[in-house]
Amino acid sequence: MKLLAKAARMRCFKGLDGFSLSLDGFSLSLDGFSAKSRLALVLLSLVLVGGTVGCDRAPSADGLKEWTAADHDWNASEKATTSGKQGPKGAGGAVAVVEATWRAQCVSCHGPTGHGDGPQGAMVKAQDLSRDDWQSNVKDEEIASVILNGKGKMPKFELPADVVRGLVARVRGFRGQ
């Protein structure tokens, strides 16, 4: 109904010297435009008026369901790369913390599967943690020490011991992938 009222107040004039559009005191002169351009501008102005009239209140939340964690998008490949590779069994909440730590601190360089192919991996020459020769030559204590103290361009991370153990187990899970 508001749109009809606004449209009723809109006036178009075609005088001897050109075409003008007036809407509640706002006027637009279309002198020098071709007929098609004038028509396009008039239609555009009608659409804009209609758009402003239709946005006078927030949308209704009726019919929307409450968001739950189950609504989060997970794909099968993410589940496959995260299952069974985060620390000792029975670690409880530490498994989630290890996964969150891996994603927040490690993936940007080492990539999701430890190949050193993260977005910053090439720039910092991140180690490919899946290589058999590297896995054979490094001890768990050395991996934990690098996590805690850093090495080369890798910064140190102040993490709880159970999270560090979980990250070491996760790194060991990349072997041969």
Structure confidence by residue, pLDDT tens digits, 67-124: 776 766 655 444 444 444 444 445 456 788 899 999 999 999 999 999 999 999 899 9
H-type helices in 55-129, by residue range?
Answer: 76-82, 93-101, 107-110, 121-124
When divided into structural domains, the chain yields a total of 2
pLDDT of residue 143: 93
- Is there a single domain that holds both residue 84 and residue 167? yes
CB neighbourhood size of 3 (10 A):
14
Q: Is residue 158 part of a domain?
A: yes
pLDDT of residue 67: 72
pTM over 0.85: no
Q: What is the CATH number of the domain that holds 104?
A: 1.10.760.10
- Is there a single domain that holds both residue 99 and residue 161? yes
